[in-house]
Structure 1
């Protein structure tokens, strides 16, 4: 997928210098809370990585554009805002760390 996102797409939130974990959530989504915790922990562990959580209902244009069909959906963006990985459902921390390995050049 060659879509690049920028702060304007993300409600003004700044992208991480190296990568961004973009989470689409909804108000009554229990797995979204677990996802928020896991992504926040990973972003705190890895320098240059940001975690941005967006309410899917408040960003319907972006949800449609990116074909987000359930919450939580997580997009891993590289430093330029390009989508390098995408997953639905609550992720496991090792899977998030592995996905970041694809987004961050060594």
Structure 2
């Protein structure tokens, strides 16, 4: 899944996301209301978060959080960020991810 974020010191926190970070990792999904692949991505990320202790899935409405979207350079939905326990962006990918790719990306975050 995706690429390692070039700004390895880029971090997000509860204020940025409007939700608490996971104890071990956070799967952040940027979505829009009419995005078909966002629905499948929501199911995949929620399923993986439910399988792995300490991992949460946070969905961010890209249209409501334009400042954050611009700051992170997000140009399409869905875009998924995998954050480590400290909120550092470990992996980033656009498009609907496969479950195996999400699990592999989590392995780099925890």
TM-score by length of 1: 0.96
How far does residue 70 in structure 1 lie from its aligned partner after superposition?
Answer: 0.1
Show the counterpart of 1:7. 14
- Distance across 2 between alignment mates of 1:48 and 1:83: 16
TM-score by length of 2: 0.93
Within the alignment, does 1:18 sit opposite 2:24 as a pair? yes
- Distance across 1 between alignment mates of 2:67 and 2:16: 9
Runs of 4+ aligned residues of structure 1 deviating over 2 Å after TM superposition are: none
Show the counterpart of 2:82. 76
Q: For structure 1, which runs of at least 5 residues remain unmatched after alignment? A: none
- Distance across 2 between alignment mates of 1:27 and 1:51: 17
Show the counterpart of 1:56. 62
Q: For structure 2, which runs of at least 5 residues remain unmatched after alignment? A: 1-6
Query: How many residues matched?
Result: 103
* SS of equivalent residue, structure 2 residue 64: helix
